[in-house]
């Protein structure tokens, strides 16, 4: 969406109200609309008719999927482990050159925390965007890890796994890449490297086509053309994903009519 998407709204109050309600849903129980709502939120100051149309379509999508929710399970073994996912879309904001990143943290086979945001600095490659996004996700992951420790829900010394779909970003975060490539980044982004060096975090590769955090950075279609959310039943980690919604093609088609 761009700022010149049609004529400006004569009254932007209804648009603000809709986006505010969508934000509440996105932050509480509907991570599948986070990216859409984040995009809409960027136009609160100068909404146009196209933005209102997109907001109404998002509401229609919620209407057609109102029975969808998040389910948590105590099984299989290992489901009590905190697992994170991070993804970025490089320079997708054409007006600023900034990248969108998103992270997802799961526990008991369900999402417990998620976010989609525009990075605060321009990165020079997709690898840098992925690494910066992973740092932001790791910061929140440390908060959740500390909370679990305080509640006695985690064995001391247990390493937290953070999944990325960029091998070069993993090499940088795992101290396997030359510092020359990233020495221009702010020192605060070396936070993740320090966590990995200390054995608190482990960065693991996960292919893009089964990366749950992908839905926080772009509107993505699954290989069969149907829109997907966080809908994978099992992958190489033997971790059972929440059946949030396997395919939203029917709902998507209904919204677009």
> Residue 146: enclosing H or E segment and its boundaries?
helix 126-150
Is 60 among the domain residues? Answer: yes
Q: Are residues 210 and 87 in the same domain?
A: yes
Domain range for residue 161? 83-216
Domain C-terminal end among 68, 99, 131: 68
Residue-wise pLDDT tens digits, 171-198: 999 987 666 666 667 677 788 999 999 9
Q: Are residues 93 and 131 in the same domain?
A: yes
The residues, any chain, with a CB within 8 Å of residue 128's CB and separated by 6 or more, are 169, 182, 185
Is 179 among the domain residues? Answer: yes
pLDDT of residue 29: 85
Torsion of CA 242, 82, 186, 215, to 10 degrees: 0
Length of the chain, please? Answer: 257
Tell me how far CA of residue 167 lies from CA of 34, 68, 128, 202, 237, in angstroms.
Answer: 26, 34, 11, 13, 17
Is 225 among the domain residues? Answer: no
Q: Are residues 47 and 169 in the same domain?
A: no
More confident position, 249 or 106 = 106
Q: Are residues 203 and 88 in the same domain?
A: yes
More confident position, 75 or 151 = 151
CATH of the domain at 156: 3.30.420.10
Is 108 among the domain residues? Answer: yes
Rounded Cα distance, 51 and 71, in Å = 32
More confident position, 109 or 205 = 205
Is 7 among the domain residues? Answer: no
Q: Are residues 55 and 109 in the same domain?
A: no
* Residue corresponding to tokens 């992973």: 134
Does the pLDDT value for residue 241 go beyond 50?
no
Task: Look at residues 106, 104, 162, 102 and name the one whose alpha carbon lies nearest to residue 129.
Answer: 102
Q: Is the preceding omega at residue 76 within 30 degrees of 0, hence cis?
A: yes
Q: How far is CA 132 from the centre of its chain?
A: 13
Q: Are residues 57 and 121 in the same domain?
A: no
Confidence of residue 96 (pLDDT cuts 50, 70, 90): very high
User: For the chain, first and last CA: distance in Å?
Assistant: 19
Does the pLDDT value for residue 164 go beyond 50?
yes
Q: Are residues 172 and 53 in the same domain?
A: no
Rounded (5°) CA angle 250-251-252:
90
pLDDT of residue 93: 87
Q: Are residues 200 and 141 in the same domain?
A: yes
Q: Are residues 42 and 162 in the same domain?
A: no
Q: Are residues 187 and 135 in the same domain?
A: yes
The residues, any chain, with a CB within 8 Å of residue 159's CB and separated by 6 or more, are 199, 200, 201, 202
Residue-wise pLDDT tens digits, 40-65: 998 999 999 999 999 998 898 888 87
Is 235 among the domain residues? Answer: no
Average pLDDT, rounded, for the chain: 79
Q: Are residues 54 and 140 in the same domain?
A: no
Q: Is 113 helix (H, G, I), strand (E, B) or coil?
A: strand
Q: Are residues 149 and 190 in the same domain?
A: yes
Task: Look at residues 173, 226, 208 and name the one whose alpha carbon lies nearest to residue 90.
Answer: 208
Number of structural domains (the chain) is 2
pLDDT of residue 41: 93
Is 42 among the domain residues? Answer: yes
pTM of the model: 0.81
pLDDT of residue 14: 96
- What would the mean pLDDT of 74-79 be, rounded to a whole number? 59
Is 133 among the domain residues? Answer: yes
């Amino acid at each position: 969406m761009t700022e010149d998407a049609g004529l400006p709204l004569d009254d932007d109050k209804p648009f603000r109200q809709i986006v505010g309600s969508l934000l509440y849903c996105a932050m509480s129980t509907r991570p599948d609309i986070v990216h859409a709502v984040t995009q809409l939120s960027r136009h609160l100051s100068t909404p146009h008719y196209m933005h209102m149309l997109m907001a109404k379509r998002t509401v229609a999508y919620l209407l057609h999927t109102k029975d969808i929710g998040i389910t948590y399970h105590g099984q299989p073994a290992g489901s009590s482990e905190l697992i994170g996912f991070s993804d970025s879309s490089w320079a997708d904001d054409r007006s600023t050159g900034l990248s969108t990143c998103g992270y997802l943290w799961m526990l008991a086979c369900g999402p417990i925390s998620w976010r989609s945001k525009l990075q605060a600095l321009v990165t020079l490659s997709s690898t840098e965007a992925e690494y910066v996004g992973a740092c932001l996700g790791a910061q929140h992951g440390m908060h959740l890890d500390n909370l679990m420790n305080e509640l006695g829900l985690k064995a001391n010394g247990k390493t937290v796994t953070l999944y990325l779909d960029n091998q070069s970003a993993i090499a940088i975060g795992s101290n396997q890449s030359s510092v020359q490539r990233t020495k221009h980044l702010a020192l605060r982004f070396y936070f993740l490297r320090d966590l990995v060096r200390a054995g608190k975090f482990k960065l693991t590769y996960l292919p893009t086509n089964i990366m749950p955090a992908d839905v926080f950075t772009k509107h993505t279609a699954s290989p069969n053309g149907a829109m997907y959310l966080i809908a994978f039943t099992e992958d190489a980690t033997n971790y059972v994903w929440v059946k949030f919604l396997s395919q939203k093609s029917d709902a998507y088609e209904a919204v677009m009519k």
